[in-house]
Structure 1
Amino acid sequence: MMKYSTSPTPTNYPRSTSPLPAPANYQPTTASAAVKRYKYLRRLFQFNQMDFEFAAWQMVYLFVSPQKVFRNFNYRKHTKSQFARDDPAFLVLLSVWLFLSSVCFALAMGLTLGQTALFVLYVVFVDFIGSGLIMSTVLWYVSNKYLRVDIESPDVEWGYAFDVHINAMFPPLSLLHCFQILLFNKLLVHGGFLSCLVSNTFWLASFIYYIYITFLGYSNLPMMKNARVFLFPLPILCLFYLGTLMASWNLSHMLMDFYHYRVL
């Protein structure tokens, strides 16, 4: 029988008018980063110990109300002395989702069996895991170096930085690797302004999701200041979006060409 963790369900959250509850009375961290990492990696192979139901709930709410997901991180800090997840169920589900969506993406591009296998390996291990490790490390370093309230405040956990990244990646992956495929052969594969508009709007929504969820993740931490800097790219992003439309630069076509070039 599957064992579920004690993570709160959606009905357990306190009512609040603010986007995220004010953190207070956190338990001090007792385990080292190495111990936390060991426990997390060990649980990657203990599927009966993972709370897949709650991980699926988090995925849904990352689309409709990402603030609620980060309230659970505050709850975990109160009860387990860490912000980062100790249950790899979300990572496992996201990896499965990425694998399936990548296969669908490869079929839509008309790749052969060998090219599909190579494409999936690239997407999972380079685009997702590799870039995720780099981005998490960069944001972890920047937040600890420049955005902490003071040097005496606790460090941002690298595991939490990674959690924020994979949270922020789920909506873009779903939009670009799954929902966009439904329109690929009917609309996006053809040229014209409508194809460019729909394609680039998918990309704009994906980047907005990533930036906003990243902002929520770091603004949730009590040791952080000026987390609004994560929102600064939004005006530039909107201007870039308008520029791609005026130039008829279809970003999805560019992605398809890049993927074809990489597996050929």
Structure 2
Amino acid sequence: MSVLPLSSPTIAYHGNPAPRSSAISTRVPVIFKRLLRFQQMDFELAAWQLTYLCLSPKRVYRNVYFHKQTKNTWARDDPAILILIAGCLCVSAIAWSVVYSYSLLKAIQLALLMVFRDYLLVGIIVATLLWFFSNKMLLSPPSHSAPTDSVVEWAYAFDVHTNAFFPFYLTLYLAQLFLVPIVLRSNWVCLFVSNTLYLAAFAQYIYGVYLGLNALPFLVRTELLLAPLLPLFTGYIVSLLGFNVAVHVLPMYFGS
């Protein structure tokens, strides 16, 4: 009597096990594999999504269901939105470089830091934490009606970060740029404007993360994702007693 294997067998190539590189490549999100395929990118749709992430983010997440039905994945497979965000960060880097009188080399370095550290590296860390937390704590109990693939994809968690990052970018990377002469002044009104700006940016990001995961029908207790708002608001109230966030953050960030 034959016995079924407990795990799927490894496909052999000329008598050798399948190369590890092919197994690793299957785990790389499609959106990263297509980063250089500009002809296949839909920049018009990406621009529409970025616009509505600020005006009506729930409308963007309605398209998630359509994407799941047509492509059998919750995560987007078009990296156009990544390219647009990277372009926006580069423009901001140029503008901030003018404000701080950076050289061309330092301006390029700042652009690379904004794209690869602030957006991609932080996004990878946040997506990993969201992916782990969601699959461990937020999955609904198994039932006969629940689909078998009711898990949060890592690529979708990165999408959630991407969607939440853009309003954050508009607030701290763009709006703050025009408010630099105000937020760095040493009076209470300017302190209030500065700290409220940072409060709005992080609150938008947290709420965006909540909306993204709340859109998945198989997750429960997604309200837990709003928990960071409590310490955020508490810190904001305390900071109004005399701690100007921008005065401390900007010199540290730009090294001045």
Q: How does the TM-score come out when normalised to structure 1?
A: 0.81
Q: 2:243 maps to what in 1?
A: 249
The answer to whether residue 197 in structure 2 is matched with residue 202 in structure 1 is yes
Contact 2:183 2:193 in 1 (8 A): yes
Given that 2:185 and 2:191 are in contact with CA atoms closer than 8 Å, whether structure 1 keeps it comes out as no
> Could you give the per-residue CA deviations for residues 11-66 of structure 1, whole angstroms, max 9, x where no partner exists?
xxxxxxxxxxxxxxxxxxxxx99548464334211212111111111111111110
1:118 alignment counterpart: 109
User: Within 5 Å, which residues of 2 pair with 1:19-168?
Assistant: 35=26, 37=28, 39-150=30-141, 154-168=150-164
Once residues 148 and 34 of structure 1 are traced to their aligned partners in structure 2, the CA distance between those partners, rounded to angstroms, is 27
Q: Relative contact order (alpha carbons < 8 A, sep ≥ 6): 1 or 2 greater? A: 1
Distance in 1 of aligned mates of 2:49 and 2:107: 29
| Deviations 1:237-264 (CA, angstroms, capped at 9, x unpaired) | 1121111111x21111222121233xx8
Offset, 1:144? 0.6
CA distance in 2, matches of 1:40, 1:113: 31
> 1:214 aligned to 2:206?
no
Query: Cα–Cα, structure 1 residues 170 and 38, in superposed 2: closer, same or farther, change >3 Å?
Result: closer
Which portions of structure 1, spanning 4 or more consecutive aligned residues, are displaced by more than 6 angstroms? none
CA distance in 1, matches of 2:160, 2:24: 17
**Alignment length (residue pairs):** 229
Code of the residue aligned with 1:232 in structure 2: it is: A
CA contact (8 A) 1:109 1:256 kept: no
Instruction: Choose the corresponding residue for 1:173, options 152, 169, 175.
Output: 169
Sort the Cα spacing of 1:242 and 1:172 in 2 relative to 1 into closer, same or farther, 3 A: same
Counterpart for residue 233 of structure 1: 228
Residue identity in the other structure for 1:162: F
Structure 1 residues without counterparts, runs of 5 or longer: 1-31
TM-score relative to the length of structure 2: 0.83
When residues 38 and 181 of structure 1 are mapped into structure 2, their CA distance, relative to the original with a 3 A threshold, is closer
Quick one: which of 178, 185, 192 aligns to 1:190?
185
Q: Matches of 1:115 and 1:236 in 2, distance apart? A: 35
Tell me if the contact between 1:76 and 1:82 (Cα under 8 Å) persists in the aligned partners. yes
Q: Which residue, 215, 218, 221 being the options, matches 1:223?
A: 218
User: Which residue identity is paired with 1:154?
Assistant: S
Distance across 1 between alignment mates of 2:136 and 2:37: 36
Q: Which amino acid aligns with 2:171?
A: L
**2:189 is matched by which residue type in structure 1?**
L
Secondary structure at the counterpart of residue 60 of structure 2: helix
Q: What residue in structure 1 maps to residue 16 of structure 2?
A: none
The separation in 2 between residues aligned to 1:38 and 1:197, in whole angstroms, is 41
Given the alignment of the two structures, is residue 258 of structure 1 paired with residue 249 of structure 2, yes or no?
A: no
Which amino acid in 2 is paired with 1:164?
V
Larger radius of gyration: 2
Supply the distance in 2 between the matched residues of 1:38 and 1:74 (Cα, whole angstroms): 19
Unaligned 5+ segments in structure 2 are 1-22, 143-147
- Residues 138 and 219 in structure 2, CA contact (< 8 A), matched pair in contact too: yes
Identical positions, percent: 37
Corresponding residue for residue 7 of structure 2: none
Output the amino acid matched with 2:208: I
Q: For residues 54 and 251 of structure 1, do their structure 2 counterparts lie closer, same or farther at Cα, with a shift above 3 Å needed?
A: same
RMSD: 2.0
